[in-house]
């Protein structure tokens, strides 16, 4: 059953509760989809060569959200893979992947070059942070909306015009002037 924010949005809100996603224009969306598709093909190929069986592409998981790839390893264990088109995997990517976890699965974040297996401790930590973030957003939206944590991973795609750290916002100009 799907509930609340998508793992993509929640992963950024875990880092910066005031994060507001910038809209995607159609050219950017098409370019993203092309890069993502190429990365997915590389990840599929790499896993097949390692003996994994491809079970699903963009299938809904037990949490109601769509994960990129599902494989079964040679021993029958489920591997959920979140594929990123980025050249370098970032912390926000690992956080997002951890949010796709389901019982009895292994979670991996991958790009065209590497696979990063997330530890159970990491996934548990992220699940706890996600719960705290959901509670903050639900119970104290005004605090969440003004809790800024500037990071390159979130700021480059954020459109929160109240953020004092984003270039070009009214608050950023006031913040630099003081």
Beta carbons of 158 and 166 less than 8 angstroms apart: yes
> pTM of this prediction?
0.88
The pLDDT of residue 3: 55
CA–CA dist 80, 100 (Å, integer): 8
From the list 83, 38, 75, the residue with the least C-alpha distance to 58 is 83
CA–CA dist 160, 150 (Å, integer): 12
Tens digits of per-residue pLDDT, 15-72?
999 999 999 899 999 999 999 999 999 999 999 999 999 999 998 877 778 999 999 9
Q: Where are the beta strands (DSSP E) in 1-144?
A: 53-60, 66-72, 78-83, 105-110, 115-117
State the pLDDT confidence band at 1, using cuts at 50, 70 and 90.
very low
Q: Domain ranges for the chain, please list them.
A: 7-177
Share above pLDDT 70 across residues of the chain, in percent, rounded to a whole number: 92
Q: Is the pLDDT of residue 174 over 70?
A: no
Q: Is the pLDDT of residue 135 over 80?
A: yes
CA–CA dist 106, 35 (Å, integer): 25
CA–CA dist 21, 14 (Å, integer): 13
Tens digits of per-residue pLDDT, 74-118?
999 999 999 999 999 999 999 999 999 988 899 999 999 999 999
């Amino acid at each position: 059953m799907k509930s609340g924010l998508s793992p993509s949005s929640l992963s950024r809100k875990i880092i910066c509760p005031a994060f507001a996603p910038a809209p995607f224009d159609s050219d950017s969306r098409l370019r993203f989809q092309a890069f993502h598709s190429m990365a997915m093909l590389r990840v599929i190929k790499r896993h097949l060569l390692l003996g994994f069986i491809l079970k699903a592409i963009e299938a809904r998981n037990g949490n109601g959200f769509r994960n990129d790839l599902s494989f079964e390893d040679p021993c029958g264990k489920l591997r959920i893979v979140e594929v990123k088109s980025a050249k370098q995997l970032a912390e926000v990517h690992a956080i997002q992947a951890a949010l796709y976890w389901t019982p009895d699965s292994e979670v991996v974040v991958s790009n065209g070059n590497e696979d990063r297996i997330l530890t159970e401790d990491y996934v548990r930590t992220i699940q706890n942070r996600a719960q705290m973030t959901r509670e903050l957003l639900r119970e104290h939206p005004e605090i969440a909306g003004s809790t800024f944590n500037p990071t390159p991973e979130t700021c480059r795609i954020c459109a929160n015009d109240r953020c004092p750290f984003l270039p070009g916002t009214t608050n950023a100009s006031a913040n630099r002037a003081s």
